[in-house]
Structure formats: C-alpha cells, structure tokens
Structure 1
Amino acid sequence: MGAPGRCARIEEFDGLPTLSSFAAGYAAKVTTRTETVRKMPLPALTAMVVGSMVGAGVFSLPRNFAQATGVLGTLVAWLIAGIGMLMLALVFQTLAVRKPQLDAGVYAYAKAGFGQFPGFFSAFGYWASACVGNVSYWVLIKSTLGAVVPAFGEGATLIAVVVSAIGVWAFHFMILRGVKEAATINQIVTVAKVLPILTFVVILAISVKGGVFAGNLHGGPQSLFEQVRSTMLVTVFVFLGVEGASVYSRYARRRADVGRATVLGFLGVLALFASVTILSYTALPQRELAGLRQPSMAGVLAAVVGPWGATFVSIGLIVSVLGAYLAWTLMAAEVLYVAAKDRDMPAFLTRENDQNVPVAALLMTSVLITCVLSITIFSDDAFTFTLELTSALSLIPYLLAAGYALQLAIKGETYDLDPRGRRKDLTIAALATFYTAFLIVAAGLKFLLLSCIIYAPGTVLFALTRREHGMRVFSPAEFVLFAITVIGAVIAVAGLAMGWLTI
C-alpha cells in the first residue's frame, strides 16, 4: 500500500492481510537491493487469493445469519453479496491496470476522482475500519475463552476489556521491536484457520438433518427483503479487503491470470462462506443458532460431534485471530504512514524507529483500538456492534473508489488508446457503485451517525496537513461536507446520551 521500494505493500483481505507479503514489503523499506520476484502460475495465484481472503469473520457466520434470516434469506444474501463484492473486486483490478501510478492505497482513487478532502475521508475511514475490526478480534477471543473463564462473558465484560487492552499494548511494543518472522507466523495462522473450517464443512455435510433444515427455510415474520438487508453488513465484514486481489498482479506469470485468479479465488471463498452458513441450518433450529455464543461455529460443531468440536474450533480461532490482529495492526499503521508520505496526513506520522516501524502511526492505531475497546463495555452485543461498525466505516472508501471507476468509464479516460472493454468496465463500475450505495442505505442511519463520531474529530488531521503546506483548510464544498459530518456527530452523541441511539 505504498510507493515501491519505500513503503510496504500489504495484500489485505478479510481477517488476515498476507503476513509474508508484509515481510517482503518490510524488507524493501530497509534495503535498496533489487530482487526478482518469482512468477506464480494460475493455481498458485488462486490459492494465494483464497488463503488470504478466509479470515476470522467466518467463525461468526452461523449466529449472525440465524439472528437475521433463514435458509432462503441466506441464499439470497450470499447471491447479492457474491455479485456485488465480485464487481467491487473487478473494479479494483481495473483501476490497478488503468491507473497504475495510483499505488498509495484505496484512498488514492477517492482523492483522484473527488478531491483531497474526500480522499482524506477515504484514507481515515479505511484506517478506522481496520482499527475497529481489530477490536472485534479481541471481543471474539475473550468470548471464546468465556466458555472456560465465565468472567470474560461474551467478550465485553470489564475484566475482558482490561485483559484485551493489555494484549493491545503487548502487541504494540512487540511490533515496535520489529516483526521479522512474519512469513512463519503466516504459515501457522493459515493452517490454524483453514483446518477447522474444512473439518466443520465435511462433518456437517455428512450429518445433515433434513427435518431441521426444512424447519429453518423461512426466517420469521419479517419480509425477505428486511431479512436480507439485516445480513448485508455481515457479508461486507467477511469480504473486507477484497480490493487486495488486484495487487497480486506483480506475482503473476501472465497478466491475464490476475483476473482469472481473482474470479476463481473469490468464487471459492464465497462457496466456503455459504457452505458454513447453510450447513449450520442442518444442525440446529434457527432459534438455537441465533442464541449461540460467539464463535458460533464452535457451538454448531459441538452440537453435532460433542464438546471436542467446540474445543477444536476455538483453538484454531484463537491462533488465527491473534495472527490476524498482528497483520491488521501492521496494515492500519501502514495506511497512515503511506498517506503521510504522500502528504495527505500530517508529517509526524512518517516518524520511524530504528526497526523501520512507523511509531507515530502505530501509536495512533493502538490508541483508537483501546478507545473503541473500552466502549464495548456498554454494548449489548459487542461483537456484532464492532463487526457492523467496521463494515460501515469501510463503505465510504469503497463507494468513492467504485465511483471513480465509473467516472473513468463514462468520460472515456484511459480508454482512448485501448477502447476495448470500456462498455464492460462501465457496467461493472455501475453495479459496484450501486451495490456499495445500497449497503450504506442497508446499514441504516445508526451506523452512519456513529461513523461521524469517528470522522469528525479525525478531520483535525486534515486541517494540520493543510496548515503544514500553507494551504487553505477547506474549500467551500469541503466545508459543507465537514459541517454535515460534525452535525452527524453531534446528533449521534446526543442520541447516545438520550438513549434513542444504542450500541
């Protein structure tokens, strides 16, 4: 996610950016030696995409879907999410080819298409979504341990938050000393997360209870549309980072393999996520699924094979999530660092220590994670709250990137020398833009307002950056956007204080 040879480029996907790729980028920051990257064939490239996309979110799917819908709603939800997120993945692939000079991250597309302030919003929102997502990992870990240590409850009790905060800062100081074994960690994490998921799918596939499945076909009194709408932020969470597939182009033996690997890898992951969700409806009635503690995959497997199933899934999840937390912390700090190097964030965020770790960016990341972690004490369902807030914060960057691709296709920019594919790119960008706009509507006013609480004070960083470069802080249009954000934040704070807005 940065300029080649200076900033680490991180291939980030749901739950786990590729740690080995971070190691490669990390090494690039401390050496000027040019190395030839070994080119990868299509199967290896596809496996790389699949392995990176499968993350911690999959362990929570049975309960999250059962709370919203039944089998029919689940099928419709995955169909919509599959098409929408694939369009978004293809948008990022297209932008990587059409605008290869914009390699500073997702926010670069928002800045190029809509100006500096929207670009800042995109960068800040992307960073904030990574931080809030990290909070969901700690909640999930403590909820998992809560089955053994009741004091941890569902992961948001006072003692759970205190222990999690200690973990946040333990990782912080470990990263400050440098992370040199990233590739080894990645291998352990990959096995830890994939093995229990595949075991879960196989066991449930051969243990189908037809009567239970039939009883779960319909999700309850709400309309199918409302049921599906309620699952949308969950599907966004598990696919977060889908934009990273396009950056694998540098590993490809043939350029055409990137698109094929993106599609094949995405469809494989979609099939895995859908299988975990739908097969869960064959094991327990919907009401029981909805009442499971997180990680709900553990409860489902335990219902089929006994207590060892829960232990098996829980151990795999803890190892996986700790690795994911490390990777996303590195990625979040890198987002701020790269933006600061590109003069889109204050210069102090470029500070590094002797281990080439961006210390100021890492400090801001750990502080925000700790702050959001402390708020979960007041949440009725901390994991679902952090999951949905993570998704909501990521939607603005995604919408602006899709809008930029649509803008290019409509204007014909970059298509003058190569007009082929413009109609196809226009269709894909239009679908991706519509899908992300629909997700913002589906998320509802609650999460839009809560997002403003994070965005509004974050604007101080934008003002500092403008002042550093002797520029006017806001243009008239930018000031209007800032005013709307502040109004939204004030309404959200008032709503929380008066009780009509809850977390």
Structure 2
Amino acid sequence: MSEKSRIGLAALTALVISSMIGSGIFSLPQNMAAVAGSQALLIGWLITGVGIIFLGISFACLARLRPELDGGIYTYARDGFGELMGFFSAWGYWLCTTVGIVGYLVVAFEGIGTFVDAPGAVVFGKGNTLAAFVGESAVAWLVYALVARGIREAAGVNLVATLVKVFPLLLFIGLAAYFFRPDVFMSDWTGASLATPDNPDVSVLTQVKNTMLITLWVFTGIEGAAVLSKHARSRADVGRATVIGVVVTLAMYVAITLLAQGVLPRADIATMENPSMAGVLAYMVGGWGKVLITVCLMVSVLSSYLSWTLYATEIPHLGAKNGAFPPSFIRLNKNEVPHGSLLFTTLTVQLCLFLVWRTGNSYEALLMISTSMILIPYLLVGAYLLKLSFAQRLAVKYRLIGAAATLYALWIVYAAGTEYLLFSVLLYLPGVLLFLYSQWRHHGTWRFNGWEKAVLVVLAVLAVPAVRQVVEKL
C-alpha cells in the first residue's frame, strides 16, 4: 500500500474519538437522568468504565499479538471462530455502522430544524420530512465523493472536525464544574422518584441495567483504529490510538453526565428535549449556549458520519477477500479505496433514508437497531483474546484482559434483554443469504462445518419468536 493511504497516530486517535463522540453525548444527560438516579449512575459508569477500558485494551493487545490480521472486529472473529461467525461479526458491525450513520444524518437535520422550523411551517422536523430526505441524500453522496478520493484525505478532514467539536464539550464541562452543587446531585440519590404506577421497579440493579445500552451506544466506535489498521503508518499506533481515545472519551462522558445532575435536579433533566446538553448549558449561560451546542451537534454528527463511512466501507472489502462478501467488493479505485464496498454502503444509506422519510421513524428507532447489532461483534473480540491467550499459553495478563472484556460484553447482552436480541436475529437472517451467495460466487459451493450448521439452526429457531414479537408490536 502506498504512503498516501497511511494514517498517523493523531489522525487514528481522532477517528476513534470522533466515532464515539457523535450524537449520543449531546443527549446523554437526559438519556441517563431518565433511567437512573445518582447512585445508579455512578455504579453504571464504574461498570462501563472498567468494561470499556478492558475492551479497548483487548483491541490494543490483539493489534500487537496478531498484526497480520487487518480489519480488527471481523478478522478477529473469523480467525477465532470460523468463517460463519466471522461473517456474522462483519455483517452485524456493517449494519451497526450503516444504520448508525443514517441516524447521524437524521439528527443533524433535526438540529438544523431548530433554526428554520416554525410552528406553522415545519421544514426538517425530526429529520424525516421530504426536505430533510433531500438534504440528507445530498450529504450522503458528498461524503461518498470525499471518501472515494482517498482514506487518508477523509481521515484528515475528520481530524479537523474532531478538534472543532471537542472544544464546546470541554467548555460545558468547565462551566458545569463551576455551577455544580452537591446538594442537587444528592437530592435523588436512589432514584426513587423514577417509580410510576406502570413501572414500580426502580431498584438500583434495574436502573444500572437501563443505563447499559445507552453507554454501549455512546462508546460504539472504539474499534475504529483496528478496523483501519492496514492504513496505519505504524501497527503500534493502532493500540495507542484505541487506548488514548477510550480514556479521553470516557473522561468526558462521565464528567458531562455526573456534573449535569449537580447543576439541575435529575427529574428536570429527564424531561428536557434533546439535545439536552443545550438545555443544561442554556440554564448556566443563557440562550447562546443552546445555539452553541446545537451547532456543535451538527458538526459532531457529520464528522462521525464520515469516520463511520470509512469503517462501513472497509469491513465488506476485507470480508470479500475471504469469501464472505461478493467479489466485486475487492476492487480498489485509483485512490486505493474499495469503491464497490463504498457504493454498496452509500446505496444502503440512501435506501434507509427513504424508509425513514416514508415511515416517519426517528433517530431513537435507528439507535435501537444500530445498538442491537453491535452486541455480538464486541462479545467475539473479548472471547477471541481469551481463546488466544489459552491456545498460545500467553501471560496471565492477557487471560485477565480477555476475561474482563468478555464478561463485560456478556453483561451488556444480559442487560439488553430478549427484546433486543430477538430483534437482532431478524437482521442477521438476510445476512445469511448474502453469505450463501458470496460463498457460491467465490467457491462454487457452500462450506459449513457441524458447529456452523448448529448456529444456523439456532438462528432459524429464534426467528420464530422474533417474528412473533414484531407482529405483536404492529
């Protein structure tokens, strides 16, 4: 690969940070306040902090132990658990990123709507109007053109955008620390005021569980440097960028959520419209704070859209090299960008935008889909390091790191509940058809071992209650 495609440590770190700091951070105060009191909030962040750091360290360890495995989240699952599980990891991750970037476009145009919409003249609404669809489609194809010019150029644009969007977040943290009042933070310590006649269970464990999918969503993107590992100037930078990005982002997330509940009572934040950071900042400094956060939100989601497009493009390309995706995804354009994979991703984004417009779905619905698809890929990363540590008789520290990351991922799966897991089953099923088609194109036959056949049977069995669940909701 030529030098023009190489990405340095600063740009890699910016990709990791930009991927995790998208839209979620701006709604985080309200999202967390709606489900947890201060005590559960602290416990939830403690679990998440430990778990996500071990997951980040797992990526760093695997980048050092298996530097020949490009693509991270897909190739780790494939090397550790076979072709089918590797494909499921790639498909789940690709769907997560693709649906996620659709959500970014939707929330960006919802933010623009706060400036141009009026009660009698809604232009962009929740990002699901005709005008929003046209604007979102234009941005999607502009990003397509930018990425097609080269991975390094797109990463450079993302670096600048990351610096722009982090500054207002640091300003919010500084002001919130100044306005923080311990008595406000402790006023609803146990979250007892969350209880309602329809939802009387407000135990600390329940509150902590309710924070888990929120915290998982805001950390999605931790794998960014590993996914683009083949473009790194140095393989050692992959691990460094991941750990630095996780620590920086975790510190900002914890500070924003904890300090916000010391500025305003939990119940007040829970009823705010999103982006709730805008409401909290407006309380501290006045109306200009809401404008600043809204503008920052739009810059943030668009830069995250760019970085996630890079990931969504890379994974099918790597999968095609191993027979998991169609051969047309292998070819590179003159700028060494997998154009077939990029076009497939952008067309899928366009289709999803059309469905959002026609169905009226909102950003929250897209987040549910995206988050449910990342559960299994993250679980397989920790499990692969754990398996590798025993198979190669590595130092005890690798076993502990792999075990901690795996336990955290299992806890997230448990906290997500059966509804999310069954919903993800329906999204994995179309992937099986793509995998069968790809295997036939590459090998002229289907190749499954006994373990993989058992997985397919389990998936087919789970599809029955999954379909029933969707029908009941309709």
Q: Is the 8 A contact 2:385 2:402 kept in 1?
A: yes
Higher relative contact order structure (alpha carbons within 8 Å, sequence separation ≥ 6):
2
Match of 2:160 among 177, 185, 188: 188
Gaps of 5+ in 1: 7-23, 29-34
Match of 2:329 among 325, 349, 355: 349
Note the C-alpha offset of 1:93: 1.7
The match for 1:16 is: none
* CA 1:484–1:369: 2 relative to 1, 3 Å: farther
> Within 2, Cα distance between the matches of 1:45 and 1:308?
31
User: If each structure's helix is expressed as a fraction of its own residues, which one has the higher value?
Assistant: 2
Note the C-alpha offset of 1:486: 3.7
Match of 1:95 among 62, 65, 77: 62
Q: Is the 8 A contact 1:49 1:266 kept in 2?
A: no
> Within 2, Cα distance between the matches of 1:224 and 1:67?
14
Stretch of structure 1 that moved more, 92-101 or 274-283: 92-101
Do residues 323 (structure 1) and 307 (structure 2) align?
Answer: no
What residue identity is the alignment partner of 1:65?
Answer: M
The match for 1:120 is: 87
Q: Is the 8 A contact 1:129 1:390 kept in 2?
A: yes
Note the C-alpha offset of 1:176: 4.5
Q: Deviations over 1:23-66 (max 9, x none)?
A: x6xx33xxxxxx9x98x7xxx79976885565113222111111
What residue identity is the alignment partner of 2:270?
Answer: A
DSSP-derived class of the 2:263 partner: coil
The match for 2:439 is: 466
What residue identity is the alignment partner of 1:450?
Answer: F
Q: Is the 8 A contact 1:156 1:382 kept in 2?
A: yes
Do residues 77 (structure 1) and 44 (structure 2) align?
Answer: yes
Note the C-alpha offset of 1:457: 0.7
What residue identity is the alignment partner of 2:40?
Answer: G
What residue identity is the alignment partner of 1:281?
Answer: Q
Note the C-alpha offset of 1:171: 3.3
What residue identity is the alignment partner of 1:481?
Answer: V
Note the C-alpha offset of 1:200: 0.6
Stretch of structure 1 that moved more, 158-167 or 181-190: 158-167
Q: Deviations over 1:318-369 (max 9, x none)?
A: 1222122122112201211121123332102224445544332123212333
The match for 1:55 is: 21
The match for 1:21 is: none
Note the C-alpha offset of 1:73: 1.4
The match for 1:480 is: 454
Pairing of 1:314-393 with structure 2 (within 5 A): 314-374=294-354, 376=356, 382-393=362-373
Q: Deviations over 1:287-323 (max 9, x none)?
A: 3322222222112111221110011111122122212
Do residues 497 (structure 1) and 463 (structure 2) align?
Answer: no
Pairing of 1:404-419 with structure 2 (within 5 A): 404-411=384-391, 413=392, 415=393, 419=394
Q: Is the 8 A contact 1:144 1:314 kept in 2?
A: yes
Do residues 198 (structure 1) and 164 (structure 2) align?
Answer: no
What residue identity is the alignment partner of 1:429?
Answer: G
- Total equivalences in the alignment: 457
Pairing of 1:1-400 with structure 2 (within 5 A): 5=1, 27-28=4-5, 51-52=17-18, 55-56=21-22, 57-148=24-115, 149-150=117-118, 151=122, 152-156=124-128, 160-161=132-133, 163-173=135-145, 175-176=147-148, 181-182=153-154, 184-219=156-191, 220-221=194-195, 222-244=202-224, 263=243, 265-374=245-354, 376=356, 382-400=362-380
Q: TM-score, normalised by structure 1?
A: 0.81
> Within 2, Cα distance between the matches of 1:312 and 1:344?
44
What residue identity is the alignment partner of 2:455?
Answer: L
Q: Is the 8 A contact 1:343 1:465 kept in 2?
A: yes
The match for 2:411 is: 438
Q: Is the 8 A contact 2:16 2:221 kept in 1?
A: no
Q: Deviations over 1:179-199 (max 9, x none)?
A: 774355224312321111011
DSSP-derived class of the 1:147 partner: helix
Stretch of structure 1 that moved more, 166-175 or 342-351: 166-175
Runs of 4 or more above 6 Å deviation: 44-47, 257-261, 377-381
* CA 1:444–1:371: 2 relative to 1, 3 Å: farther
> Within 2, Cα distance between the matches of 1:227 and 1:172?
41
Please tell me the root mean square deviation across aligned C-alpha atoms, in Å: 3.2
What residue identity is the alignment partner of 1:497?
Answer: V
What residue identity is the alignment partner of 1:364?
Answer: F
> Within 2, Cα distance between the matches of 1:108 and 1:96?
11
> Within 2, Cα distance between the matches of 1:46 and 1:178?
15
> Within 2, Cα distance between the matches of 1:365 and 1:250?
22
Stretch of structure 1 that moved more, 481-490 or 67-76: 481-490
Note the C-alpha offset of 1:169: 3.8
What residue identity is the alignment partner of 1:455?
Answer: Y
> Within 1, Cα distance between the matches of 2:451 and 2:356?
35
* CA 1:264–1:321: 2 relative to 1, 3 Å: closer
Note the C-alpha offset of 1:278: 0.9
What residue identity is the alignment partner of 2:254?
Answer: A
The match for 1:427 is: 400
> Within 1, Cα distance between the matches of 2:398 and 2:151?
40
* CA 1:379–1:68: 2 relative to 1, 3 Å: farther
